[in-house]
Amino acid sequence: MISAKKGDWVQVENIVLPAGHRAPQVPEDTQKCDLKMWVKGEALQDAKEDEELEVKTTTGRIVKGRLVEVNSRYVHDYGEFQPELLKIEHQLKEILFGGEK
Amino acid sequence: MAKDMSYEALNARKNEIMKAAMQISYEDFELAGIGFNYEKMMDEVGYSIEEMRKMQLENAVGNTPLLEMRNLTALARKYAPAGKGARILVKDEACNASGSFKARRAAIAVQQAKKLGYKGVIAATSGNYGAAVAAQAAMNGLKCIVVQECYDNDKIGQPEILEKQRICEAYGAEVVQLTVGPELFTTFLGLLEETGYFNASLYTPFGIAGVETLGYELAEQCRQRYGKDPDVVVCTNAGGGNLTGTARGLIKADATKTQVVGASIDLKGLHMASNGDFNKKSCTTGHTGFAIPFVTWPDRSDCPRNAARTLRYMDRYVIVKQGEVFYITQALAVLEGYERGPAGNTSLTAAFVLAQEMNEDEIIIVQETEYTGAGKHTMPQLTFAKQNGVDVLFGDPDNEIPGKTLVFPEDPGMIKAREYDLSKAKKSYIHNCVKNYDMATASEEDINYIMDEIKESREFVLAELKGAGITI
């Protein structure tokens, strides 16, 4: 269970359009999902996870939403090693430098 | 009384919001029938090449190196008939501030916003353009909001898009993230209205004109070094601005014989607004899911008239596969020592094949690269593909099924540039005119406009219009 103190850098979540009220051109599987929005900002009140609070974003906007993260981590990285890429490397070097094809 | 911020109310205010956010009088360029005066719009709203180069250079954009791919050229020649195998050159656009050619568009858009006195800029993009606008806004002391389609319903995002979120935040921008869906546009409208910021759209006349310097520069560099114009320039094609701007720049540099080829990745079968398909894509840009709708109907953008109009400029259009682009990305790293892309390497993949059809003394230029980093790299992209149930295998890339398999070629000789029938795209454009303007008749002005739009003969246009039951 996370919680935020006033002044913490947090991420809030909002529902822009609920499932069933999506744009008509949206395919069936997406129609069943809410259109959700996430924004980061400075907490203007203390809050616990899932509680609603206001945040001040980096451009100075005030946005209300449900607390989902505090000091959000960037989760992307360089991934798992992919042996297929090594196979390609060896193949290319063999073709180009390892004698006649 | 507070304004109604509902989805319907915002869409109903679209025209007034856009007008306030761009200050372009698009109506001044409208013609009596279905068309508008494209060249007049580009002349009056855009800037000259000299003005743009100055603005860009002052903001760390432009004068990127033109690199010769010696080993990739040698590899292509291994597979080409005797005497064939054009020299492959790459314009290293990753050297621009923010790491892609998108900086050229952003530099001009942000200068325009500054000139008009806006306090901030907003762009709707999940791509490199976000980083470009964020960096330019930072340099020029403007606030910046980037609106991203980022996650599926479970808050899982493509590593490539997550990196683009990070870099925008690194440059001090606010990033508003959404789940999959075209309604993003309405959120974007709401933010424009709430903040009064400038719409730094990718598709304004100055946004597209900003890319003209790229075509102009590469023609100059090629002449300086090789004493001739490039024979072919390949552009990765998505929304069309890259190709349109580059082609216009080539024309302005008098490189009128240079053939302009578009290249996109085949993502047939994946729905762009589907929650389930969203994370089945192994590339997030330069693909057919985005490109084909824009080629056949440019005026679907966030501007009343899109300045990116590829059928006016494209001489040829080829399709490559995801597995082929990843293969060539790896080749670029291990044979040339350049870690770039992967998404920007769509045109490099096409060039590798097209070079094999061309003479040895000819030159083919890939006009962009993009920065690589965590998330934006073949390893995390392949990791993500496998996590999402995509089978990664070696075989014939023709058998690749987007969202199900990613097929590396067994041998680089199997990489293909599949011809996309441009006359099919042109016919589709005409049918979209008929449908979207509810045409019953076509005036002389309409016919001339369509001829310009698709670079085709009067006979071609008349035959298609008559076939659709239009009275001439």
Q: CB–CB of B174 and A58 under 8 A?
A: yes
Q: How many domains does chain A have?
A: 1
B153-196 pLDDT, tens digit per residue, is 999 999 999 999 999 999 999 999 999 999 999 999 999 999 99
- Are the beta carbons of B394 and A77 separated by less than 8 Å? no
Query: Which residue do the tokens 């496998």 mark?
Result: B386
Cβ–Cβ gap B181/A23 under 8 Å: yes
Question: Which residues, 6 or more positions from B170, have their beta carbon under 8 angstroms from its beta carbon?
Answer: none
What CATH number does the domain containing A7 carry? Answer: 2.30.30.760
In chain A, the residue whose alpha carbon lies closest to the alpha carbon of B168 is A58
Place of tokens 């000819």: B362
B252 touches B49 (CB < 8 A): yes
- Chain A residues near residue B271 by CB distance under 8 angstroms: 27
Q: Does A71 touch chain B (CB under 8 A)?
A: no
pLDDT at B1: 56
Distance CA B80, CA B354 (A): 10
CB atoms B374 and A95 under 8 Å: no
| pLDDT cut 90: percent of chain B above it | 89
Residue-wise pLDDT tens digits, B370-403: 999 999 999 999 999 999 999 999 999 999 999 9
Asked which of A25-39, A59-73, B241-255, B276-290 is least confident by mean pLDDT, the reply is: B276-290
Check CB contact under 8 Å for B273 and A57.
no
Enumerate the domain spans of chain B.
55-98+208-419, 422-467
CB contact under 8 A, A77 and B159: yes
Q: B20 and B31 in contact (C-beta within 8 Å)?
A: no
Interchain contact A38–B (C-beta under 8 A): yes
Q: What percent of chain B has pLDDT over 70?
A: 100
Give the pLDDT mean for B270-290. 87
Q: Tell whether the model's pLDDT for residue A100 goes beyond 70.
A: no
**Is the pLDDT confidence value at A72 over 90?**
yes
Model confidence over B451-471: pLDDT tens digits? Answer: 999 999 999 999 999 999 999
Note the pLDDT tens digit of each residue in A12-26. Answer: 999 999 999 999 989
Instruction: Find the closest chain B residue to A38 by CA distance.
Output: B177
Identify whether A92 is part of a domain: no
* CATH number, span B55-98+208-419: 3.40.50.1100
Separation between Cα atoms, residue B24 and residue B18, nearest integer Å: 9
> Confidence band (pLDDT; 50, 70, 90) for B3?
confident
Q: Is the pLDDT of residue B331 over 90?
A: yes
- Tell me the shortest Cα–Cα distance from A99 to chain B, in angstroms: 12
And the tokens for B14? 């679209």
Reported ipTM: the value is 0.96
Tell me the average pLDDT across B323-346: 95
- Between positions 209 and 268 of B, the ones with CB within 8 A of A are none
pLDDT tier for residue A101 given thresholds of 50, 70 and 90: very low
Contacts of B271 by beta carbon, 8 Å cutoff, 6+ apart? A27, B277, B289
Mean pLDDT of B255-281: 93
Q: Range of A16's domain?
A: 3-72
Contact assignment for A82 to B379 by CB distance below 8 Å: yes
Rg (alpha carbons) of chain A, rounded to whole number: 23
Higher-pLDDT residue of B119 and B285 is B119
> Considering just the CA atoms, what is the radius of gyration of chain B in Å?
21
Question: CA-to-CA distance for B152 and B387, rounded, in angstroms?
Answer: 14
Residue carrying structure tokens 């616990």: A48
- In this structure, how many other beta carbons lie within 10 angstroms of the beta carbon of residue A73? 6
End-to-end Cα separation, chain A, in angstroms? 60
**Residues 6+ away with beta carbon under 8 Å from B360:** B77, B83, B84, B85, B86, B87
A29 within domain boundaries = yes
**Distance to chain A for B255, nearest Cα, Å:** 34
C-beta atoms of B273 and A96 within 8 A: no
Residues 379-408 of B with CB under 8 A from A: 379-384, 386, 392, 394, 408
Calculate mean pLDDT across residues B305-331: 97
